Amino acid sequence: MKQTAERVFRHTLAAIDIPSALTRKLDRRGSLLCAAGSDIDLREFREVVGIAFGKAALAMARGLHEVLTPEFPPDEILVVPAAPSSPLRGWKTFVGGHPLPTAESFAAGRAILERLALCDEGTLIFFLISGGGSSLVEQPLDPGMTLADFQQLHSALVTCGAPIEEINVVRKHLSATKGGRLAAAAARSMKITFAISDVPEGEESALASGPTVPDPTTVDDVERIVRKYGLLAKLPESVRELIEGRAFGETPKDGDAAFARSRFEILLGERELLHAAHHCCEAEGFTCLVDTETDNWPLEKAAEHLLAQLEILKKENPRRRVAIFAGGEVSSPVTGQGIGGRNSAFVLACVPKIAGKKIAVLSAGTDGVDGNSPAAGAVADGQTLARAQAMGLDAGEYLRRSDAHGFFARIDDAIVTGPTGNNLCDLRILLAE
């Protein structure tokens, strides 16, 4: 069943075709383009600009390039987490940092803001955004904040146990490229954003920290989150002074003029991922159920809930193999100096719970990255605990020191895909015979 779970995961990734999804959303006939529910005559614009950033930016950029060229080639900026094996002609490319911003992230942020400053009412801008964009593109709102300050800020945020939505509240209010501020940087232009979403439906302002959409969060929310997770002492002095003195501006809100000519549309999200996984698993002969309740739940609570749902589904279908799918993220605070992320930690938390049972559990990131590990996640079954104990491995100790990848690498059950060029939400697969 471990092999089946991994096969379903890999087939699901293969079923997500980003360039094709974008070309379906952009129907061009001559100069007339149907995009985001609007008919647009490209001849009415002085220039077309494409700005793509995030883990799926390369595939999205290829889709846009296919639609617009050769008649309407855009002026383009591409920001990716790794250098493309084959550069995309015409796109000025930056390799930003993830999960921490780098000097190239700052350079990308400057380049984007400088390009947007040249845009006017005769400019049509396509923003192509996917997860990871928060660190790949960065520029401080306060010029006194350095790259080292931002790296310390991001490190404190991603290790404090806060869900991504709360992490991004803080990022938005300290950055010139987040919380609607890219839309505000070209307020008069026509702007169309297509997004590949790794956040729950209805929370699109959290995706890449919402650079082109109104921000519903406030300065008061920043202060609340900083207090809630005891972050103040972990922040650099420049950031502490900004927060304590409330010396940072509010983000653009709904109704701001920057959004008057702005459209936002989800290209692919959790729904499409779970649909693809469901289809792949049914082809393997499983009775399947999608569970959408566990996004942002604490790791242990999510594991208990999904395993209980799997048991119920099995009792209802005693003669069938059954499967449960879940997307989104689980909350997994870093408590040690090990290697791993929330996906391998989720599977490790399940190991003692499924010991001796005919169950397999897989959890992996669709971007191919799990925390600070080289893997996408891990897979386990009812024999995993016994195998580990025979090797002298203590599953609980590995979990306590945040070294889930170390555990699964030792027993050869880490899932390694390399960067996938995608970034939908995490995928959890639970199978039972």
138-192 pLDDT, tens digit per residue, is: 999 998 899 999 889 988 988 888 877 888 899 899 999 999 999 999 999 999 9
In 3D space, the residue among 87, 85, 110, 105 whose CA is nearest the CA of residue 95 turns out to be: 105
Predicted pLDDT of residue 85: 83
pLDDT of 422 above 90: no
The 3-state secondary structure of 60-78, one letter per residue: HHHHHHHHHCCCCCCEEEE
In 3D space, the residue among 360, 235, 351, 229 whose CA is nearest the CA of residue 299 turns out to be: 351
**What is the domain partition of the chain in residue ranges?**
18-269, 271-432
- Tell me the per-residue pLDDT of 346-360, one tens digit each, with 9 for 90 and over: 999 999 999 999 999
- Tell me the per-residue pLDDT of 108-153, one tens digit each, with 9 for 90 and over: 999 999 999 999 999 999 999 998 888 899 999 998 899 999 889 9
Q: Which CATH number is 271-432 given?
A: 3.40.1480.10
- Tell me the per-residue pLDDT of 310-342, one tens digit each, with 9 for 90 and over: 999 999 999 999 999 999 889 888 888 899 999
Query: Residue 93 contacts by C-beta under 8 Å, 6 or more apart in sequence?
Result: 78, 79, 80, 83, 84, 87
Query: Residue 168 contacts by C-beta under 8 Å, 6 or more apart in sequence?
Result: 134, 178, 206, 209, 210
What is the homologous superfamily of the domain 18-269 according to CATH?
Answer: Glycerate kinase, MOFRL-like N-terminal domain (3.40.50.10180)
Query: How many CB atoms neighbour CB 172 within 10 A?
Result: 25
Q: How far apart are CA 168 and CA 159, in angstroms?
A: 13
- Tell me the per-residue pLDDT of 228-283, one tens digit each, with 9 for 90 and over: 999 999 999 999 988 888 888 899 999 999 999 999 999 888 888 999 999 999 99
